[in-house]
Amino acid sequence: MELSFKNILVVGLGLIGGSILKTIKELNIPLEVYGLDLDEEVTKKANNIGLINNIDNQLKKIEEDSLIVFSVPSLSIERAFKLIEDSFNDEKVIFTDTFSSKSKLLEFLESNTKVGEKFVMSHPIAGSEKSGLANYNSLLFKDKLVVLSAVNGDKDNKKLDRVKNFWELLGSKVTFLDPEEHDKVFSRTSHLPHIIAFALMHYLEKELGDDVFKYSGGSLESYTRIASSDPLMWKDVAVSNKEAVLEAIKGFKSSLNQMSKLVESEEEESILEYLRFVKEVRDKRLKKDS
C-alpha cells in the first residue's frame, strides 16, 4: 500500500489521538507528525515524549499533502477546527475524525461546506475505559474495525480510498456505513450499553456503597468496566446522538419491563421462553461471526 500523505496532524491528543501517533512511530510509517490539543500542556507533553514534531499549539502552515484527524470529544469539533484553520494548504488536505456519533459533526460540515468537501468520517471501533494520552497504545487499532462514512453521499472514491488506506496501514480493517445508519447502529450496540453501565453503577453505589464489589468475584467489575469511560467524551456522545440514544433507551426499557412483568406474575413458562429466546439468538449470532 502506498501512502498518499506526507503529513499527519492529530487534533486532540487523548487515548485515540495519542495511539494513532504512537502506532505511526512504532510501525515507522513515513509521515511528518504534528499534534494539537485543546489543552496546550498536553501538546507540550506529546512533544516531550517524542510523539509530535511541533512543540506547542503555535503551528506553522503545512504546505504538502496532509491528513488532519480530529479526535476530540464530538461537541468540540468547532473549537478544534478553529485551532488549525490557518495551518494547512486548502488544496492538499483531507480531514477525518474518530467520533462515535456523527449527527452533530454532520451539522457542522453542512454549514462549513468547504470543510465538508474535504472530509471523510471515520470511527475506529477501539478504545478503553482508560482514557487520556498517558494510556496510548500502539496496538489499539490492530485488527480492529474502522467504519468510514461519506459526507452527504459524497462518492469521491479517491478520497475515501486514501483514508481507508491510512487506517489499513495502522492495522485496521475498514468498512462503510451511511452516517445515519452509523448513528442508529451504534446507539444500540455501543451507546446504550454504556448508558446502562453508567446507570447500573449509579444505582449500585447508592444501594451498596463500599460493598459494591465485595461479593462479586470479578464479574461485576468487568460488567461495569465501561462505566469508568471518559465522562466528557460520553457526555458528548449522548448529546450529539440524542435522538437515537433516547430511542434505544426506550426500546431497551420495553424489553426490561416485559421481563419484569413476567417475573412479577411468576409466569414460569413465559420467563423460560424469553430466556431461551435470548440465549438461542445470542449463541446463533456469535457462531455466525466466528
- Stretches 13-21, 31-39, 151-159, 264-272: which one binds its own copies (CB under 8 A)? 264-272
Question: What is the three-state SS of 149-191?
Answer: EEHHHCCCHHHHHHHHHHHHHCCCEEEECCHHHHHHHHHHHHH
By CB under 8 A, name the one of 145, 161, 165, 171 that touches its own copies.
145
In DSSP terms, which residues pair with 62 in a beta bridge? 88
Instruction: Work out how close the CB of 168 gets to its own copies at its nearest, in angstroms, rounded to a whole number.
Output: 16
- Stretches 25-33, 45-53, 104-112, 219-227: which one binds its own copies (CB under 8 A)? 219-227
Q: What are the grid coordinates assigned to 40, written together?
A: 496546550
Q: Does 180 bind its own copies (CB under 8 A)?
A: no
* 53: CB partners within 8 A, 6+ apart: 32, 33, 34, 47
Q: What are the grid coordinates assigned to 99, written together?
A: 467520533
Q: Does 259 bind its own copies (CB under 8 A)?
A: yes
Long-range pairs, 255-263, Cβ under 8 A, ≥24: none
Give the C-alpha separation, 67 to 93, whole Å: 6
Give the total of residues touching its own copies (CB under 8 A).
85
Q: Are 55 and 221 in contact, with CB atoms under 8 Å apart?
A: no
Instruction: Map residues 35-74 to x or -, x wherever contact with its own copies holds by CB under 8 A.
Output: ----------------------------------------
Q: Are 16 and 98 in contact, with CB atoms under 8 Å apart?
A: yes
Give the C-alpha separation, 54 to 58, whole Å: 8
Give the C-alpha separation, 175 to 185, whole Å: 14
Instruction: Work out how close the CB of 127 gets to its own copies at its nearest, in angstroms, rounded to a whole number.
Output: 8
Which residues between 114 and 143 bind its own copies (CB under 8 A)? 125-126
Instruction: Work out how close the CB of 268 gets to its own copies at its nearest, in angstroms, rounded to a whole number.
Output: 6
By CB under 8 A, name the one of 82, 114, 158, 214 that touches its own copies.
214
Would you put residue 152 in left (φ > 0), alpha (ψ -120 to 50) or beta? left
- Stretches 47-55, 89-97, 160-168, 230-238: which one binds its own copies (CB under 8 A)? 230-238
Instruction: Work out how close the CB of 66 gets to its own copies at its nearest, in angstroms, rounded to a whole number.
Output: 28
By CB under 8 A, name the one of 45, 144, 165, 168 that touches its own copies.
144
Instruction: Work out how close the CB of 41 gets to its own copies at its nearest, in angstroms, rounded to a whole number.
Output: 20
Phi and psi at residue 241, to the nearest 5°:
-115, 30
Between 22 and 123, CB nearer to its own copies? 123
Between 50 and 231, CB nearer to its own copies? 231
Phi and psi at residue 51, to the nearest 5°:
-80, -30
Give the C-alpha separation, 193 to 195, whole Å: 5
Between 110 and 203, CB nearer to its own copies? 203
Q: Does 228 bind its own copies (CB under 8 A)?
A: yes
